[in-house]
Chains A and B, each alone.
Chain A
Amino acid sequence: MNPAHPDPGEMLQRVRQQLILAQVRIMELEDTRDETGGRLEETGKLLQAAQSLADQKLDEAAHAERVRADLQAQFVHLQHVQQLTQQELRVAQDRLAVTEQALAAEKQGTADFAAQLRQLQEIQRKLEARLAEATTSNEARQQRVGELDVEIRGMKASRSWRWTAWLRSLERTVLGKKP
């Protein structure tokens, strides 16, 4: 036997061993294929999901951009309205200042009037007091007049007055006095 050639039995054993190991390798490769296929599918799904999410975000961004543009337009409009309002406000403030000045003058006039009124009221109060005194005095006098009148009436009704009537008539005649 040529020693360079391995024993046929050993060769056969190697072939048998490799035959089985080839099957193991095939199983490993099948695992790799199945795993890779699964991963590829998963990756595809992930990409699809990522794209869908990105599309959704793009839609949201577009919507946000439209909202931003609307708000910008509203902002510009509001700025214009604000300018007009400020102009009106300045005019109104000027008017208000004038009115305030007039009001101050009026207030001063009113104060003066009130002071005069208070003086008049004091005078009125004094006059009323004096009136009351006069009234009281007048009433006293009226009462005295009444008493005197009663006294005169009594005197005139008296017999002496009547008995002396002639004297008085004489007097008037003589003296030219009226009765």
Chain B
Amino acid sequence: MSPSATLRLHAEIETPRPLRARAREVTVKGWCLAEDLPDPPPVRLSTSAGIVPLTARPPRTDVPQLFPAHPAAAGCGFVLSGRLPAGVYAACFEAQHPDGRWQVFKRLTLTVEPWPLAAVMDEPIAAGLLRDRVKVGGWALDLDEPVAELTLRYGHREIACDVGRPREDVSALFPGVPHAGHAGFRSQDFLVAGHGPVRVRARLANGRIAIAPTTVCFSVATDENHAADLDLTLPRIGLAAEGAAQPPTRPAPVRAARPRNVLFVLYGSFASNSALHVAALANELAAAGHAVAVAVPHDAVTLAHHDRPAFRGLTFAEAEQGLVFPDGCGPDVIHAWTTRENVRVLTEKLRARHGSRVLVHLEDNEQQLLALSLARPFAELDRLGDGELDRLVPPDLSHPHRSRAFLAAADGITVITERLRSFVPAGKPCLTLWPAADARHFYPRPRPDAFRRVLDSAPDETVLFYHGNVHAANAAEVQELYAAVVELNRSGPPVTLIRTGRDSVAFPAGLAAAAAPFVLALGEITHHRHLPALMALADIFVQPGGPDEFNDYRFPSKLPEFFALGRPVVLPRTNLGTLVRHGTDAYVLDRADAAGIAGAVRALRADPVLSGQLGRGAVAFAERHFSWPRTAEALANFHLSLAPS
């Protein structure tokens, strides 16, 4: 054979592909023989980061069946093994000519995963339980980067350690790693009280954080800050009750015969309460095959607050720049969520551009909201000229005149309560859209009694729950709830109100101080899906308020969530309160003021049977009346009923 000739090779890589090496250790098996050589040629794996050599020649019984006449067939197996730095490589498998040249016979990719942080505790013990308040030590090594900082974590504790201590034994274990000789660490102080398996948490020189388990468990019972009677070894009590209920199985969505492009235009960010309704409808419409987008005026990143949105979120500015759905067309339907100025302006622009049908959703008495916000009677505002109103009305409220024209020009109206139909122009198609609760998270949940036993200050404590922001429109009624809590604590067993949400209106100082010991204000819970686990702590849900120009026209979005959880719901005889049956579906008060709420709570505490009935009644009512899939289906049919544009 001449020196320039090419070997006629037969070979196979038998290690499963794609080739992946754990912890930098590369091992590849296969076989290779050359027709023109009496012996199997040497093979190797070549990468840009180094060579993985031939380390074994396992005999083969299968290859001789393929090449019965070839003398090298039985001895052509190979094992290549060695270490490579972490990375993804183009790996060349090569066979050697008798003259020393290497010939590639196979190219594959090779992923080499990094070596995990190796950590060993060996001072004073290498395994088992350590109860003594002593200093501890060991070694931690990352093959690529020296350890810059190191702490030990156990239970609820974290203690700092000195690093860089000499360890000749580690250097001997890892002869190719220059920093191995200084892989030792030692705690800076004696152990403090805490219980749990020890984890080594290291910040490497390149800033990466690496964590490694050890075989040691610390169980230090006490220190200067922990009394001996504080048992740190008890298991954690979580919010999820034993055998907690699971969300109901959802039937497969019905696919729409005529999918539409639907754009919702929302007046606030995805963190607003209305966004919960819009997101739920958008998800349901998307599940039915419609293409759905939701435009918000600002903070589009708040879309991350929602669980698995199936729609596209965008800003008003993005929508103005050009809104194209996956089919390359614009929106068939624009659903303006309220008549508020920012929504109206964008909707009219997009309608002019795309010729879309426009629906307007009403969920509040916008006139009353404007009057409350500007602190002027609506009739007085309505008499002002457009120019003056343009100056007064902010973008997130409705202009008295322009909102009427907006409604008159709409192709259809949706309302959240029947009472809002009084704002719908005569003859205009109108659909009532009842809200619901997200069934993935809001479903009957048992009370986590173990957690309540930890939380409660007394065994007979009652927990109320109210989630939602406090603003000018509802501040008075939330104050009634606070007053009821104060009154209940003054005259009976303890009552705690757990609250979430932001307060944009301050409570009277006296009431705030009096209620403070009984109110657990948790602030804003970023992810709405986390509320149900907290709501499950409650014994009773209370919606304060009473019939008035604000409440009669609204549908508090928390009500379907209250009903879905399976607790007694106390609510006033307004909006939904006019439709539920007192004593069967809920506990209905003519006015849910302080006295009424306190009376209802006392009645429910005194009558566990009634309380249980109302809990079950709430669930039954929710199942009958609150369903996003049904509401979305009705909305989709409403879209279809509108004349095509």
- Whether A55 lies near B18 (C-beta < 8 A) is yes
Q: How far does the Cβ of A15 sit from chain B's closest Cβ, in whole Å? A: 9
Given A20-B534, A51-B19, A52-B17, CB of A58 within 8 Å of CB of B520:
no
Q: Which of B451-482 contact A (CB under 8 A)?
A: 451, 454-455, 457
Partner of B530, one of A10, A16, A27, A52: A27
- Whether B520 lies near A20 (C-beta < 8 A) is yes
Q: How far is the CA of A20 from the CA of B533 in the complex (A)?
A: 10
Could you give, for residues 10-39 of chain A, a 1 whenever the CB lies within 8 Å of some chain B CB and a 0 otherwise? Answer: 101100110111011011100100000000
A48: Cβ under 8 A from any B Cβ = yes
Given A20-B522, A21-B522, A28-B527, CB of A10 within 8 Å of CB of B517:
yes
Q: How far does the Cβ of B21 sit from chain A's closest Cβ, in whole Å? A: 12
Given A13-B516, A24-B534, CB of A55 within 8 Å of CB of B238:
no
Q: How far is the CA of A62 from the CA of B527 in the complex (A)?
A: 52
Q: How far does the Cβ of B560 sit from chain A's closest Cβ, in whole Å? A: 22
Q: How far does the Cβ of A72 sit from chain B's closest Cβ, in whole Å? A: 13
- Whether A17 lies near B520 (C-beta < 8 A) is yes
- Chain B residues with Cβ below 8 Å from A9 are 517
- Whether A58 lies near B107 (C-beta < 8 A) is yes
- Whether A51 lies near B111 (C-beta < 8 A) is yes
Q: How far is the CA of A54 from the CA of B537 in the complex (A)?
A: 53
Dominant SS at the B interface? mixed
Q: How far does the Cβ of A23 sit from chain B's closest Cβ, in whole Å? A: 5
B405: Cβ under 8 A from any A Cβ = no
Q: How far is the CA of A13 from the CA of B107 in the complex (A)?
A: 66
B246: Cβ under 8 A from any A Cβ = no
- Chain A residues with Cβ below 8 Å from B205 are none
Could you give, for residues 493-534 of chain B, a 1 whenever the CB lies within 8 Å of some chain A CB and a 0 otherwise? Answer: 000101000000000000000001100111001110010011
Q: Which of B1-51 contact A (CB under 8 A)?
A: 17-20
- Whether A17 lies near B522 (C-beta < 8 A) is yes
Q: Which of B44-70 contact A (CB under 8 A)?
A: none
- Chain B residues with Cβ below 8 Å from A62 are 106-107
Given A24-B522, A27-B530, A28-B527, CB of A19 within 8 Å of CB of B454:
yes
- Whether B455 lies near A19 (C-beta < 8 A) is yes
A40: Cβ under 8 A from any B Cβ = no
B109: Cβ under 8 A from any A Cβ = yes
Q: How far is the CA of A129 from the CA of B595 in the complex (A)?
A: 158
- Chain A residues with Cβ below 8 Å from B516 are 10, 13
Partner of A13, one of B517, B525, B537: B517
Partner of A54, one of B109, B526, B527: B109
A132: Cβ under 8 A from any B Cβ = no
- Chain A residues with Cβ below 8 Å from B534 are 20, 23-24
Given A9-B517, A16-B520, A52-B17, CB of A58 within 8 Å of CB of B108:
yes
A61: Cβ under 8 A from any B Cβ = yes
B300: Cβ under 8 A from any A Cβ = no
- Chain A residues with Cβ below 8 Å from B496 are 16
- Whether A20 lies near B455 (C-beta < 8 A) is yes
Q: How far does the Cβ of B89 sit from chain A's closest Cβ, in whole Å? A: 10
Q: Which of B136-166 contact A (CB under 8 A)?
A: none
Q: How far is the CA of A58 from the CA of B90 in the complex (A)?
A: 9
- Chain B residues with Cβ below 8 Å from A71 are none
- Whether A55 lies near B17 (C-beta < 8 A) is yes
A123: Cβ under 8 A from any B Cβ = no
Most chain A CB within 10 A, of B90, B525, B530, B537, is at B530
Q: How far does the Cβ of B494 sit from chain A's closest Cβ, in whole Å? A: 11
- Chain A residues with Cβ below 8 Å from B111 are 47, 51
B239: Cβ under 8 A from any A Cβ = yes
- Chain B residues with Cβ below 8 Å from A58 are 90, 107-109
- Chain A residues with Cβ below 8 Å from B238 are 23, 26
Could you give, for residues 71-114 of chain B, a 1 whenever the CB lies within 8 Å of some chain A CB and a 0 otherwise? Answer: 00000000000000000101000000000000000111101000
- Chain A residues with Cβ below 8 Å from B527 are 27-28, 31
Q: How far is the CA of A52 from the CA of B537 in the complex (A)?
A: 50
- Whether A48 lies near B18 (C-beta < 8 A) is yes
Given A20-B534, A54-B109, A62-B107, CB of A12 within 8 Å of CB of B18:
no
Q: Which residue of A lies closest to B92 (CB)?
A: A58
- Whether A13 lies near B520 (C-beta < 8 A) is yes
Q: How far does the Cβ of A39 sit from chain B's closest Cβ, in whole Å? A: 14
- Chain B residues with Cβ below 8 Å from A21 are 522
- Whether A52 lies near B520 (C-beta < 8 A) is no
Q: Which residue of B lies closest to A48 (CB)?
A: B18
Q: How far is the CA of A54 from the CA of B525 in the complex (A)?
A: 45
Q: Which of B105-126 contact A (CB under 8 A)?
A: 106-109, 111
- Chain A residues with Cβ below 8 Å from B109 are 51, 54-55, 58
Query: Could you list 16 A-B pairs, sorted by A, with CB under 8 Å?
Result: A13-B516, A16-B457, A16-B496, A20-B522, A21-B522, A23-B239, A23-B533, A23-B534, A24-B522, A26-B238, A27-B527, A28-B527, A48-B20, A55-B18, A55-B109, A62-B107
- Beyond contacts A20-B498, A54-B109: 18 other A-B pairs, Cβ-Cβ < 8 A, are A13-B516, A16-B455, A16-B457, A19-B455, A20-B455, A20-B534, A21-B522, A23-B451, A23-B533, A48-B18, A51-B18, A51-B111, A54-B90, A55-B109, A58-B108, A58-B109, A61-B107, A62-B106
Q: B interface vs A, CB < 8 Å?
A: 17-20, 88, 90, 106-109, 111, 238-239, 451, 454-455, 457, 496, 498, 516-517, 520-522, 525-527, 530, 533-534, 537
- Which 8 A/B pairs are nearest by Cβ-Cβ distance? A51-B18, A58-B107, A54-B109, A51-B109, A23-B239, A27-B530, A17-B520, A55-B108
